[in-house]
Amino acid sequence: MSNGVGGAGAASYYAAIANAIKASGTIVQVGPEDFQKILMKAEKPLVVYAKGNFFTGNHQYITSYKGLAFFVKSKTELMLSGAEIIKAKSIWIPT
């Protein structure tokens, strides 16, 4: 039996996620090839990059194009010629 506290906690959790999504806008997850195609379309692309932790070892990138945020995780580092890169400690995407 539940005393109702768990339900309130879950509702609070999902409300926080909904607010994070509203604050960040629409995030589109794409593959590495599509991410690079998007960068080629942008006039002066800005990319935020973060290396995953020791266990995942992936490379994470996010950029904005025409009002949408595009995100990719890659096992290998992407070649981003012509893009301005900002290195971040981490990139958090609401799920």
Q: Measured between alpha carbons, how far is 93 from 1 in angstroms, rounded to an integer?
A: 33
Higher pLDDT, 64 or 3: 64
Enclosing H/E stretch for 84: strand 84-87
Higher pLDDT, 37 or 5: 37
Higher pLDDT, 19 or 73: 73
pTM: 0.73
- Look up residue 19 and give its amino acid: N
Sheet containing 27-29: order of strands = 27-29, 68-74, 59-65, 46-51, 84-87
How would residue 94 be classed by pLDDT, with cut points 50, 70 and 90?
confident
- pLDDT digit string, tens, across residues 12-46: 766 666 665 555 568 899 999 999 999 999 999 99
CATH class of 26-87: alpha beta
